[in-house]
Amino acid sequence: MTVSPSVLVWFRRDLRLADQPALRAAAKTGLPVIPVYLHTSEDGSPSRPGAASRLWLHQSLLRLDVSLQAKRSRLVVRRGPAADTLPLLAAETNAQAVFLNRVLEPAALREEQELESGLRSRGIRFECFHGGLLFEPGSIRTTTGGSFQVFTPFWRACWNERARLRLPEKAPATLSSPECWPQSLPISDLRLEPETDWAAGIRAEWTPGEEAARDRLRAFARHGVSQYGEQRDRTDREGTSRLSPHLHFGEVSPVQVWHATAAHPEAEPFLRQLAWREFAWHLLGERPDTLTQPFNPQFRHFPWHPNTKWLKAWQRGRTGYPFVDAGMRQLWATGWMHNRARLVVASFLVKHLLIPWQEGAAWFLDTLVDADLANNTMGWQWVAGCGVDAAPYFRIFNPVLQGEKFDPAGEYVRRWIPELRGLGPEWIHKPWNAPPLPLAAAGIRLGETYPRPLVDHATARLLALAALEEMHRAARRG
DNA sequence: TGAAATGTTGGGGCG
DNA sequence: ACGCCCCAACATTTC
């Protein structure tokens, strides 16, 4: 018996049905559509997502399968490298074509190339779409055709091109099914979820999936976006969109986000942030080497001081600086950290502890549910001062002042550091300065119930500036 | 998408 | 009344 022709749609970072270009194109062919997810990165693979991301992915795949089933379709799950697995599946299902939306990570692009040659040798069509960015990579250029190195002109160029944005498209009304579905692994077989249940906090905090993403976007467009400009830095408020993990997994597209918010008169600060994400992918495309190497080559001479003990203290939220520790514990507990806190904890690791930014980047990739290769790399290099359009290295955040500014009453700190809950706003960001009486009343014994600061701010600042000077000297020598 | 150091100004206390 | 000093408030420079 011959199987009638079909089309494969390979889902990766586009775990949605609406505004999903590859799926839409596949539906338009009129052929039966076979949605596929491939588990390509086993333990130890460098492209394996972090633990928090895997947890999200697991939930998101389950929900994608549910929404496909509502359209009398389903998600076919397989294991193995794309270049082998997809041609086999195509042969099995008599697929004429494989449709996918580009993933712009260097490893994913290599994977796509291998897949393309594997398919072509078998006469199967391969079609790439773009669904993960506002503008196709490389399409935002300076007037002379160069690539932007500074964010603000890049943003201006995006703004000028906004008429080019497509309108968000609805999910295909129907997906025709093959007469016979190919075999599929249960999603739980991929072992994306952790064995031990460190993830309870993450589960409680988030609902992955397209439906939840749409709800969040709707709520943000209605109530959040107008406040965003003035609230976004307040760690003690719900001033941000919290869309980042949904965007990362493509449960919502940036085009949908743009159109849901852009009409608002006060949308600019938020749209600007959306463009930072765009900028990051644009940069990674130009300079994939910056995943590991500083964009500014001078920083190859920076005298970092790797220190496992300090790194661990930072990761666990035990640096002795409450604002830093609150951020790191929020990350550990929920898989997410407020952006302002990200800036401060990153600056602290790099400038107060002089630990290489790559260590911090690796920790974020493992623990953030929104871990995004391009954003993460750009962000860390930006903070470390070695990136594109970066904060100059001598801009060193004072973790106490940042706390007092962006968590004035100390609510954020008290929420994530229970051992400091008894301290009032006066001392909450600098318990080492607190007189004995309030400390005792709060049940705090510094060095026992809560650590003393790992380093003194003023001293650390001077050491960081000295390290920068040393780098300049070394760079001059060559 | 800083913060510390340094400079300037102006009001008020005081001899 | 006047000049002097102190210092808070604000501005500018520097890292």
What's the topology of domain A1-131? Answer: Rossmann fold (3.40.50)
- pLDDT score for A290: 97
Q: Where on strand C do bases come within 7 A of a protein Cβ?
A: 15
Mean pLDDT of A403-429: 96
Instruction: Find out whether A282 and A137 touch, Cβ atoms under 8 Å.
Output: yes
Output the distance from A401 CA to B14 C1' rounded to whole Å.
37
What pLDDT is recorded for position A378? 97
Predicted local distance difference test score (pLDDT) of residue A48: 85
Looking at chain A, the whole-number percentage of residues with pLDDT higher than 90 is 93
Is A395 or A41 the better-scoring residue by pLDDT?
Answer: A395
Domain ranges of chain A: 1-131, 135-166+209-286, 297-472
Q: What's the CATH class of domain A135-166+209-286?
A: mainly alpha
Quick check: A465 CB within 7 A of strand B? no
How confident is the model at residue A1, as a pLDDT?
A: 52
Question: Distance between CA A291 and CA A294 in Å, rounded?
Answer: 8
A394 nearest nucleotide via C1' and CA: C15
Percentage of the residues of chain A whose pLDDT score is greater than 70: 100
Asked if the model's pLDDT at residue A197 lies above 90, the reply is: no
Does residue A110 carry a pLDDT above 80? yes
* CATH number at A297-472: 1.10.579.10
Q: Do residues A77 and A185 lie in contact, with contact meaning Cβ atoms separated by under 8 Å?
A: yes
Over the stretch A264-309, which tens digit does the pLDDT of each residue have? 999 999 999 999 999 999 999 999 999 999 999 999 999 999 999 9
pLDDT at A49: 87
pLDDT tens, position by position, A429-475: 999 999 999 999 999 999 999 999 999 999 999 999 999 999 999 99
Is residue A198 scored above 90 in pLDDT? no
- Is the full-model pTM beyond 0.85? yes
∠ CA A297-A299-A304, nearest 5°, is 150
Closest nucleotide to A340's CA, by C1' atom?
A: B1
pLDDT number for residue A196:
76
User: pLDDT class for A2, splitting at 50, 70, 90?
Assistant: confident
The yes-or-no verdict on residue A377 having pLDDT over 80 is: yes
Position A43 pLDDT exceeds 90: no
Strand B bases, protein C-beta under 7 A: 1-5
Q: Is the CB of A151 under 7 A from strand B?
A: yes
For residues A139-163, average pLDDT: 94
